[in-house]
A and B are shown apart, each in its own frame.
Chain A
Amino acid sequence: MSSAPTRDPGTQEPPDYRQVQSSAEFARLRRSHRSFAFPLTLAFILWYLGYVLLSSYAGGFMGTKVLGHLNVAFVLGIAQFATTFLIAWWYSRHAAARLDPKAEAIRARLEGAVTLEKDGA
């Protein structure tokens, strides 16, 4: 249960970032970001590339009619829009719940009293 070191208010010494970086608290923040953002990025890029490849090499399947003149290609295209909106919303919810509180706790401790001065600047 180690946590990032507290900065001594009133000194102008920069925080020891290496110590912060190796703290368990920071490791949790990094893990919360990476374990969410990296796999999700990979997933949406694969889903998008799959769609591009289908457009190139599966013309027959993409041209299959679904409803009136609406074919599979359109449905998948619109689905790309839908998943983009959905992922943006999902990430923002994750960030607000799991990233912001951790980041703010570390930041508040590191900046200490200096934050107040900086806000006025």
Chain B
Amino acid sequence: MNLSQQLAAGGAGEHRALIITLFAAFVAATLGITVWAGRQTKGAEDFYAGGRQFSGFQNGLAISGDYMSAASFLGIAGAIALFGYDGFLYSIGFLVAWLVALLLVAEPLRNSGRFTMGDVLAYRMRRRPVRTAAGASTIVVSIFYLLAQMAGAGALVTLLLGITSEAGKILVVVLVGIVMILYVTIGGMKGTTWVQMIKAVLLIAGTLLITFLVLLKFHFNLSELLGAAAANSGKGEAFLEPGLKYGATATSKIDFISLGIALVLGTAGLPHILIRFYTVPTAKAARKSVNWAIGIIGVFYLMTIALGFGAAALIKPGDIEKPGNTAAPQLAEVIGGGAGSTGGAVLLAVISAVAFATILAVVAGLTLASSSSFAHDIYVNVLRKGEATEKEEVGAARWATVGIGAVAIVLGVFARGLNVAGLVALAFAVAASANLPTLLYSLFWKRFTTQGALWSIYGGLASSVLLVLFSPVVSGKETSMFPGADFGFFPLENPGLISIPLGFLLGWLGSLLSKEEPDARKYAELEVRSLTGTGAH
């Protein structure tokens, strides 16, 4: 019936051995690089920003590695395989979003901040309250994102390694968590950046190979591929048109718009992406890295057409289980020659190892972002009032990594059964509601005040998280996290349509109603530094 049972039934041992060997090789190589990077990691500049020595191209590759998560690889392929055209919206939204980062955020952030998003948000404000808020929202966004990656890891483990016992699954998630903690604590930003680059190359290579094989099968004719997908899906031409997932009711149509807004505005507020801009020496290099990232990520998302519709065309209908996270590896097996063939086994193993590498690398990037923010924003600047030594600061960041790694492991054990692309979209909505308004107001609006920043961050954060809590994602539906309970009242799965405008509105209102005057001197400093790069770290 499903792939894991097939694997368990016959010849599974060899597949599993191959997957584990390839994955172990990846882990060994990356850990080696991590140890090498760790030897060069001395101070805070190294730990948080990789010494700011990466080139625009290297960082563009690493950004791509950080961004092309399990959501992109497994989630989008699955969403397209199940819902056809509606799944493709993710690819488009995830890409277009980079323009916000390129035009408005990347360069000023690089020019005016040091290590975290909080550096820029707190620049002109009363630092302690704003840094606390920035740290809180960084950690919440990263944990939502971690939840998605760990859900992907759980699904993969079950399917590909044929591990069905609960103890076995937990063991694998714990191992993934431990390797990730090693990457970050030992290698810091430098080690993590190299891991992202290697993973990006592997992911692009694997996706190119599958795309090539799929297109070969359909004579490099996109229309033929789409036709075959439509026919095999059992839904006919409707599979190629908008509406299969989101077109059923007036509510689901609005949900689609909410998702679309969250995707396009979320990227420029994701802390693990923002801290990547600090790894290059100048704003120009930051711009160059975004351009490389747009090129690499764009090509990758174009290939999700082949992955998703290829899976829909070639896998027997009904074999792709909801929520679809396994469609890409299943496609690899089919395109390689089918179950039982050597080609199928090898391709399945390669793609599975790539998927594991993807999850591992992204989880490391997220953990680095949240532990950096905990150590730099909350521990040093709030708890110690800026009085900690550099050694204490890096020590705190390493301990925070262990703590957040532990949280990720626990989440990974519990998070399963949700489409990872959908979960990541929630992280995007929270980022766009809590972080983006304050980031843009801070950089471009001179009347913005501390009160505005706090209202915007906490208001955006609370509204987006609470709306998710009372949405069908958490309760009230068969596919919910708690299918047995129903305490929801918010009809949309994605809160962005309400919470993002609310975040912007609260920032504006909080500033207007503020008793204190905006600090004109600090704004002058921030504006001049952010546009010219004067005094950049």
Q: Are A103 and B532 in contact (CB under 8 A)?
A: yes
Smallest CB separation, B476 vs chain A (Å): 23
Does B302 touch A at the CB level, under 8 Å?
yes
**A107 touching B243 by the CB < 8 A rule?**
no
The answer to whether B260 and A52 touch across the interface, beta carbons within 8 angstroms, is: yes
Q: How far is the CA of A57 from the CA of B226 in the complex (A)?
A: 22
Q: Is the CB of B99 within 8 A of A26?
A: no
Name A's interface SS: helix
- Whether A68 pairs with B242 at a CB distance below 8 angstroms is no
Tell me which residues from 495 to 537 in chain B have a Cβ below 8 Å from any Cβ of chain A. 520-521, 524-525, 527-529, 531-535
Q: Which of B230-251 contact A (CB under 8 A)?
A: 230, 237, 240-243, 246-247
Distance, CA A44 to CA B287, complexed state (A): 18
Contact of B256 among A26, A37, A55 (CB under 8 A): A55
- Chain B residues with Cβ below 8 Å from A92 are 287, 291
A20 to B535 CA separation, bound complex (whole angstroms) = 14
* Chain-A contact segment, one of B133-141, B270-278, B293-301: B293-301
A106 contacts which chain B residues (CB < 8 A)? 528, 532, 534
Alpha-carbon distance between A44 and B227 when the two chains are bound, in angstroms: 31
Q: B25 on the interface (CB 8 Å rule)?
A: no
Which label, helix, strand, loop or mixed, suits the secondary structure of the B interface?
helix
Q: B242 is contacted by which of A67, A73, A104, A110 (Cβ under 8 Å)?
A: A73
Roughly how many angstroms separate A14 CA and B522 CA in the complex, as a whole number? 12
Q: A56-B256, A62-B241, A88-B102 are in contact. Are A69 and B524 (CB under 8 A)?
A: no
Give CA–CA (A81, B85) in the complex, Å.
15
| Residue in contact with A91 in the complex, picked from B88, B103, B222, B227, CB distance below 8 Å | B103
B261 contacts the other chain (CB 8 A): yes
CB neighbours (8 Å) of B528 from chain A are 15, 17, 20-21, 26, 106, 110
B534 and A85 contact, CB distance less than 8 A: no
Closest residue of chain B to A19 (Cβ to Cβ) is B524
Interface size on B, residues (CB 8 A): 58
Q: In the complex, which residue of chain B has the Cβ closest to the Cβ of A40?
A: B103
Q: For B532, list chain A residues within 8 Å (CB).
A: 26, 29, 103-104, 106-107, 110
Docked Cα-Cα span, A65 to B291, in Å, equals 33
Cα distance, A104 to B536, chains bound together (Å): 12
> A70 on the interface (CB 8 Å rule)?
yes
Q: Tell yes or no: A9 within 8 A of B by CB.
A: no
Can you sample 27 A-B contacts with CB below 8 Å?
A14-B535, A15-B528, A17-B529, A26-B531, A37-B104, A41-B100, A44-B96, A48-B93, A49-B257, A49-B260, A49-B261, A56-B247, A56-B254, A59-B247, A68-B223, A71-B241, A73-B85, A73-B240, A80-B96, A81-B298, A85-B294, A87-B99, A95-B107, A103-B532, A104-B533, A111-B534, A111-B535
Q: Point out residues on A near B: beta carbons under 8 Å.
A: 14-15, 17-18, 20-21, 26, 29-30, 33-34, 37, 40-41, 44-45, 48-49, 51-57, 59, 62-63, 67-71, 73-74, 77-78, 80-81, 84-85, 87-89, 91-92, 95, 99-100, 103-104, 106-107, 110-111
